[in-house]
Structure 1
């Protein structure tokens, strides 16, 4: 079983990929950038970008019947690793005590020149 997840509550894919794919046990959410799904705008402040990315992830997970609480792994792409602690402070507010496994890497450039992108794998409820 492989189901494509699509919601208008998160940004549409800006390339040839799905927002997420749901299998029997897991949901694989494509990398999300801080793109406002209603306006297409990108916030300037780093903290606002991180909040929007995580909220976009949350909306896709909810459309798939899951939640941030069921995320088991994330991969974080940062334009500037000097913002790692600031990122961690924001990220920690969303995932509670049992943090998902995670990788975080600095990259030279992200789509639309944003500061952060996150992809996630979550359990199905």
Structure 2
């Protein structure tokens, strides 16, 4: 359940190439499973700039409220509008329709420093 073609953070976000040099960001299956039923998502505005490791927003579930962290530094160029009316997409399709934002990375090579699928799998199996 860990897609091989994505990059991951230790905080359970994933990153995938998107259009025009941007990257889609979401939370992993492991994260959504730990959170339980997601009922609300707070995301930044398009045009916001974030630094790697900074808060990108929050996900609220029936169990808790959790921060979402930016995997790379950059500018938010898109926010998933579907999540406003259907935050449960994070549970049902975390790697597809449940993406959170698209970031235009300040330094696209920073993605190389993130975990690959094997390293993320190791991290989640140790948890």
Tell me if both proteins adopt one fold, taking TM over 0.5 as the criterion: no
Instruction: Point out the structure with the larger strand share.
Output: 2
TM-score by length of 2: 0.30
TM-score normalised according to structure 1 size: 0.30
Query: Where is the helix percentage greater, Structure 1 or Structure 2?
Result: 1
